[in-house]
């Protein structure tokens, strides 16, 4: 199948089935759970929510009564300054757990926006302690997910504080490609890449002009290719070296 034959990304299917039929659980990217743990997750889950591209999953201006697992699509966490400048804190892929930071904060910590059509599994925040109490292993899994999110933010801080523009873009392209690959979102070397240059600029702390110039320079060097919302890494070793991106193999992650 040629790349040109791939259809444009469409809104994801609704996730109305029980947790035991979850398509994500068949992926080696996620840890297996026991039947009892799966029943507990099913009991913890309160429903499903669909948010279209550009829609708000979590608002910055109000606390959310729900937690989410992203079942399909792309989203991002962000904070906005009073003058409208936005910092993207992290990008979210299927399997990521959303909203836990608010549980330990005095006020609301961030917003979450859908980049593509998304489907989310919803959980009531006020039942979280019961899950920790009755299923300590699942509680540990949630803590693991929170720690991984903290690591991603640490990595982003290093990027914004120490990498130059070319290194920042190279690191982000490799990071998103590898995460998409792990989540089974790569087809014949092409990964869905629904982000525009403003997303990249907001994630890397660069101006839009500087982002545009850097992307064009790396593309002229033949390091990657973007085509109709799909990304192909042409020279992964060169991009990894430029971005100082040498991640260990990604471990299977818990899935709530």
Residue 224 has pLDDT above 90, yes or no: yes
Closest by CA to 116, choosing from 64, 71, 155, 65, is: 71
Would the pLDDT of 96 be above 90? yes
Whether the pLDDT of residue 247 is over 90: the answer is no
6 touches 190 (CB < 8 A):
yes
The pLDDT value given to residue 248? 72
Beta strands in 11-149 (DSSP E): 45-51, 56-58, 66-72, 75-80, 86-92, 97-98, 111-114, 118-124
Lowest-pLDDT range of 13-22, 116-125, 189-198, 211-220: 13-22
Measured CA to CA, the distance from residue 68 to residue 154 in angstroms comes to: 22
Choose among 130, 36, 138, 56: nearest CA to 97. 138
H-state helical runs in 110-135: 128-134
pLDDT for the residue 104: 63
Q: How much is the pLDDT for 216?
A: 97
Give the C-alpha separation, 121 to 95, whole Å: 10
What's phi and psi for 240, nearest 5 deg? -60, -40
* Angle ∠(13,111,229) on CA atoms, nearest 5: 50
- Give the confidence band of 64 by pLDDT, cuts at 50, 70, 90: confident
User: How would residue 1 be classed by pLDDT, with cut points 50, 70 and 90?
Assistant: very low
- Looking at residue 227, its pLDDT comes to 93
Note the pTM of the prediction, 2 decimals: 0.88
Report, as an integer, the average pLDDT of 154-173: 93
Q: Tokens 């014949």 — which residue?
A: 188
Distance CA 37, CA 68 (A): 17
Residue in the structure block whose two tokens are 């403003």: 198
Report the C-alpha gap between 191 and 2 in whole angstroms. 14
For range 68-85, the mean pLDDT: 95
Cβ-Cβ contacts under 8 Å for 136 (sequence gap 6 or more): none
More confident residue, 35 or 8: 35
């Amino acid at each position: 199948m040629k790349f040109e034959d791939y259809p444009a990304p469409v809104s994801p299917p609704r996730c109305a089935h029980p947790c035991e039929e979850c398509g994500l659980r068949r992926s080696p990217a996620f840890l297996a759970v026991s039947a009892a743990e799966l029943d507990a997750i099913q009991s913890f889950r309160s429903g499903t929510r669909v948010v279209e591209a550009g829609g708000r999953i979590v608002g910055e201006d109000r606390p959310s009564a729900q937690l989410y697992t992203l079942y399909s699509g792309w989203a991002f966490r962000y904070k906005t300054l009073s003058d409208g400048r936005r910092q993207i804190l992290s990008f979210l892929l299927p399997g990521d757990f959303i909203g836990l930071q608010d549980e330990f904060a005095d006020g609301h910590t961030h917003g979450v926006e859908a980049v593509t059509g998304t489907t989310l599994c919803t959980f009531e925040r006020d039942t979280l302690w019961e899950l920790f109490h009755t299923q300590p292993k699942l509680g540990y899994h949630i803590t693991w997910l929170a720690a991984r999110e903290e690591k991603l933010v640490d990595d982003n801080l290093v990027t914004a504080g120490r990498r130059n523009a070319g290194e920042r873009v190279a690191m982000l392209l490799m990071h998103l490609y590898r995460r998409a690959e792990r989540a089974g979102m790569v087809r014949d070397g092409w990964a869905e890449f629904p982000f525009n240059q403003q997303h990249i600029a907001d994630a890397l702390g660069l101006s839009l002009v500087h982002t545009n110039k850097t992307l064009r320079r790396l593309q002229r060097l033949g390091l990657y290719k973007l085509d109709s919302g799909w990304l192909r890494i042409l020279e992964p070793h060169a991009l990894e070296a430029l971005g100082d991106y040498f991640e260990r193999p990604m471990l299977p992650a818990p899935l709530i």
